[in-house]
Amino acid sequence: MIDLTDKSAIRAATRAARARFVAAHGRVVPCPAPFRTLLSHGLTVASYVPVGSEADPMALARVAVEAGCAIALPHVVDRATPIRFLAWDTEAALAAGPFGLSQPHHHAAELEPDIILTPLVAFTRALDRLGQGAGHYDRAFARFPDAKRIGVALSAQEVKALPVDPWDMPLHAIATEREWITA
């Protein structure tokens, strides 16, 4: 049994479940119809480039590009430094970053996201999220409190409950390979 009060134990269990799921079913999350209604020309959508067995948000990012949105990607320096969302022209080459990430060059333009497609390690139906533990997205949510926080995940990452700390901000919705979860 996982101890549902221990964040690192939950991370280990859901990363293992996610890797098994992806080996059998793949990692693609199709674009849910309700996501399209959030988009309009000129908005900035922050996406991410998946690593390991993370859910792939590219179908959602592609629909955002078709709707006339600008795409930004997180740029990471290290665990302690806040991430910045930098413009990404979908043709542009990416650079290697820390933690095996692919990211825009550090001189790309910094954008303010209206919608943040958010990677996660575990989620609940109450829209709570557990991340990598560096606080990168927690801090980005605090900096951009008006942005829509959309989790992107595989259904295997769902848990019944998560410990919620004072700085944790719930997601507005979660897209998985089989459903769109909202409050």
Ligand X SMILES: Nc1ncnc2c1ncn2[C@@H]1O[C@H](COP(=O)(O)OP(=O)(O)OP(=O)(O)O)[C@@H](O)[C@H]1O
Query: What does 172 interact with, of ligand X, ligand FFO, none (CB < 5 to 8 A by kind)?
Result: none
Query: What does 138 interact with, of ligand FFO, ligand X, none (CB < 5 to 8 A by kind)?
Result: ligand X
133 near ligand X (CB under 6 A) = yes
Q: Which is nearer to ligand X, 63 or 84 (CB)?
A: 84
By CB atoms closer than 10 A (0-12, 13-18, 19+), residue 157 is buried
In the list 27, 84, 129, 136, the residue contacting ligand FFO (rule: CB under 6 A) is 136
Helix (H, G, I), strand (E, B) or coil at 179: coil
131 near ligand FFO (CB under 6 A) = yes
Query: What Cα–Cα distance (Å) separates residue 48 from each residue in 45, 87, 159, 160, 163?
Result: 10, 12, 23, 26, 25
138 near ligand X (CB under 6 A) = yes
Q: Which stretch binds ligand X (CB under 6 A): 51-59, 63-71, 97-105, 132-140?
A: 132-140
Long-range CB pairs of 63-69 (<8 Å, 24+ gap) are: 63/31, 63/35, 63/36, 63/39, 64/39, 64/115, 65/90, 67/36, 67/39, 67/40, 67/41, 67/43, 68/40, 68/41, 68/42, 69/39, 69/40, 69/41, 69/42, 69/43, 69/44, 69/45, 69/115
Least Å distance, CB 119 to ligand X, is: 8
Query: What does 74 interact with, of ligand X, ligand FFO, none (CB < 5 to 8 A by kind)?
Result: ligand FFO
In the list 32, 50, 113, 151, the residue contacting ligand FFO (rule: CB under 6 A) is 50
Least Å distance, CB 146 to ligand FFO, is: 20
In the list 4, 43, 76, 134, the residue contacting ligand X (rule: CB under 6 A) is 134
